Homo-oligomer: A and B are copies of this chain.
Amino acid sequence: MNSGIKVFAPASISNLGCGFDTLGMALSGPGDEIIAKFCDKPGLHISKITGAKGRLPLDSNLNTAGKSALALLEYLGESKRGIDFEIHKKMPFGSGLGSSAASAVAGVMAVNELLRKPLEKKDLLPFALEGERLASGSLHADNVAPSLLGGVIFVRSHDPVDTHRLPCPPGLYISAVYPHVEILTKDARSVLRPDVPLSSMVKQAANLGAFVIGFYRMDLDLISRSMVDWVIEPQRAHLIPHFYEVQKAALEAGALGCTISGAGPTIFALCANSFIAENVAEQMQRIYRDYKVEHDLFLSPVNQDGAIKC
């Protein structure tokens, strides 16, 4: 047995404009790191958490990474094994970048790598979802699946899990700007009306299907036309400082699309290449600098690997 391993699970962007609860995309960073090693005391122990400002519990059953790891250990018949986790949270909470999904994925990756890969990576998904369920209260694969597997993931169904990785046009780059306001997913859900006009459903669904076609055809114009959110964005935009100004700046600077990342407040822009993404980032940040809104920038290609052993 190896004595200790380190894993990294990346942040991710869900919804992608037209794919509420259906689309997700992995970033290369930020993300969660876990250092796992065997220890003499039976059971899973979280000995240290950094970067969480005391907000994450050390109790494995209450911790998202712990919960997903325990679900996997139980499945593998390894519940009695003594394992120690050090969790290094290297990304913000409540940012719309899939923080809890990254934790849940890092937990199962750490266990699987420490035990020298009893399962294929794709088969870790149901256990990571258990961790995400602890954080969000329901099964959601649209951040967990891309954080684990990488790429752009289409989720047909969460229960049973039915996910599909889309082919990805080369060079796609993401510019994500996180203004320092916290939005909890459950609050962002509570602003949504329970019903959608039928005509909006048709336009939203048509854009989602066309987005998929755009990825299969590598048709950036079609992807761009399809990244329009008729349903969710109009209901959540007011939660995010100066959303429409930032979006306008990104689109004018050449982004294929720009909308809310997950439940927000991060605003992300999908761009044809890194050069455009840098220009887009500059224009998005300019708005926040003018309004003196504290923010972070994350520039990233589509992460094709997902979670990794470091």
Bound-complex Cα distance A196 to B194 (A): 9
The tally of residues in A whose CB lies under 8 Å from a CB in B reads: 36
Complex contact B206–A22 (CB within 8 A): yes
Complex contact A196–B193 (CB within 8 A): no
Bound-complex Cα distance A244 to B300 (A): 50
Q: List 23 A-B contacts (CB under 8 A).
A: A19-B209, A20-B205, A21-B206, A22-B209, A154-B206, A154-B210, A154-B213, A155-B206, A156-B206, A157-B203, A162-B225, A166-B213, A195-B195, A195-B196, A196-B198, A196-B201, A201-B201, A201-B204, A201-B205, A205-B209, A209-B211, A209-B212, A213-B216
Q: Which residues 182-202 in A have Cβ within 8 Å of B in the complex?
A: 192-198, 201-202
A100 at the interface (CB under 8 A from B): no
Q: State whether A213 and B155 are in contact (beta carbons under 8 Å apart), knowing that A196-B201, A201-B204, A208-B205 are contacts in the complex.
A: no
Q: State whether A198 and B198 are in contact (beta carbons under 8 Å apart), knowing that A206-B155, A208-B209, A213-B164 are contacts in the complex.
A: no
> Chain B: which residue is nearest A160 at the CB level?
B225
A207 at the interface (CB under 8 A from B): yes
A44 at the interface (CB under 8 A from B): no
Task: Fill in one digit per residue for A44-84: 1 if any B CB lies within 8 Å of its CB, else 0.
Answer: 00000000000000000000000000000000000000000
Complex contact A20–B202 (CB within 8 A): yes
A114 at the interface (CB under 8 A from B): no
Complex contact B231–A201 (CB within 8 A): yes
A226 at the interface (CB under 8 A from B): yes
> Chain B: which residue is nearest A21 at the CB level?
B202
Q: A201-B231, A213-B216 are in contact. List 14 more A-B contacts (CB 8 A).
A: A19-B209, A22-B205, A22-B209, A155-B206, A156-B207, A156-B222, A162-B210, A201-B201, A201-B204, A204-B205, A205-B205, A206-B208, A212-B213, A216-B216
Bound-complex Cα distance A176 to B201 (A): 27
Q: Which residues 67-106 in A have Cβ within 8 Å of B in the complex?
A: none
Residues of B within 8 A of A21 (CB): 202, 206
